[in-house]
Amino acid sequence: MAYFERLSALDATFLGLEDERTHMHVAATLLFDAAPLRASHGGLDIDRIRAFVESRLAGIPRYRQRLAWIPLEGHPVWIDDARFNLFYHVRHTALPRPGEERQLKRLCGRILSQKLDLTKPLWEFWVVEGVADDRFALIAKVHHAMVDGIAGMDLLIALLSAAPQHDFTPAPPWRPRPAPGRAELLLHALERHGEAARALVRKTGEAVRDPVRTVAAIWETVGGIAEALAPGNVPASPTPLNPDPGPHRRFDWLPMDLRAVKEVKRRLGGTINDVVLATVAGAVRRYLRGHGVDTRGLDFRAMVPVSLRRPDERGRLTNRVANFVAALPVGDDDPLVRYRRVVEATTSRKASPIVRASELVEEVADWTSSLWLTQLVRFAAARRAYNIVVTNVPGPQAPLYLLEAPLRAAYPMVPLFHNQGVGIALFSYDGGLFWGVNADWDAVPDLHDLVEALRAEFDVLRELAVSHAPAA
């Protein structure tokens, strides 16, 4: 029987947003100890690594599926890839000696600058040996149409294990299901539109029977949508971090002790995400002032994705997020004032109807067309509704292993949109908080200065927290 699966409107939007300068893949650079996976010839046992990855693909079938499009409607669906080739997706390379961190970061930037091939399954793993300190890297690149941050973390857990393992069950033979024909896809679209019409009739009947509840729900939704669109009505301030990006990327990173971050939160109040946003606010202030920008009165905003994923949705490789826009107080010179203003801003967002509005927008787009949702996101980016994306994904707090090789660090990457030269993603794992900073190659040639500013500003917060009693 022919198989296909329709992409959600939000998943399809990430395809619609992609162009030659806007690459809509998410990624992560994972660092492992190399010695446990060294072959007799002295290099990594890449054949064993490939065989292990292949053995895991049965549990994540999306990774052997490619895109097809419904005739006339043009909406994408997933179908099995009859020509799936593991060697195309699991790639092997090495750094030249001495394999220092800077060389690895440059390689990451080059890999992140390349779009994924939309005619193949939308992922690549680059296994990089020759990394200093007897390590190797796995650069994982996956299209945002497949995963959000939480789903990407679920995928990481699916590929890795909680204890070293030597043996694994080889992958069964891959037998792709038949792809649907054009007529079958078109019939599916017509049936969906018919169901949408019937659902509208049912909703209308429910509205008539309970008008008070209906008006209240509409009012809440309209308020949420208005709040979601409001930042685009008045653009954020232009800064050197907000060019129209080109196709080339830089990638840098920063590890932190998660215990130290939690201690700042414990003493100053708020959440871990508040510590992150206050650190970003101080670092951006430091960076902009270093470039001669007067930060007084600057309206600098961060878009902060928030997961809508319920516990029963863990493991599903789809996007389930809402996006909040929070003002970062880069104009305040007092770090404690900046911190308190960040906490106030994020606290006020928790009571916002924007989450339900985001869900409704996606539901409507699912039953109509993802095109208008794509245009809505493009509008927000074109109007410079925000200056930077900051996304924080919680991960497991126990060690993970690729076969016998322990994972030592994991630096995530968030893609850049229009009018955005820098994006910051964070991943917490095994007592560490790992910052990945993605940037346009030409707009931010001194990206490491911004990374060092993040380090310096967190040190400021940590020193400030020492003099404060724990928050109630």
Query: Catalytic site residues?
Result: 144
Please report, for residues 23, 48, 149, 215, 439, the alpha-carbon distance to residue 250 in angstroms, rounded to integers and kept in the order given. Answer: 13, 31, 20, 49, 5
Give the up-direction half-sphere exposure of residue 398: CA atoms within 13 A in the CB hemisphere: 6
**Residue owning tokens 């979601």:** 228
Selection from 23, 419, 423, 379 nearest residue 230 by Cα: 379
Whether 89 and 123 have beta carbons less than 8 Å apart is answered as: yes
Separation between Cα atoms, residue 9 and residue 363, nearest integer Å: 8
Query: Reduced to 3 states, what is the DSSP secondary structure of residue 178?
Result: coil
Q: Could you tell me which of 273, 283, 249 has the C-alpha nearest to residue 413? A: 249
* Selection from 331, 323, 425, 313 nearest residue 376 by Cα: 323
Residue 57 is classified by DSSP as: G
Burial class (CB in 10 A: 0-12, 13-18, 19+), 121: buried
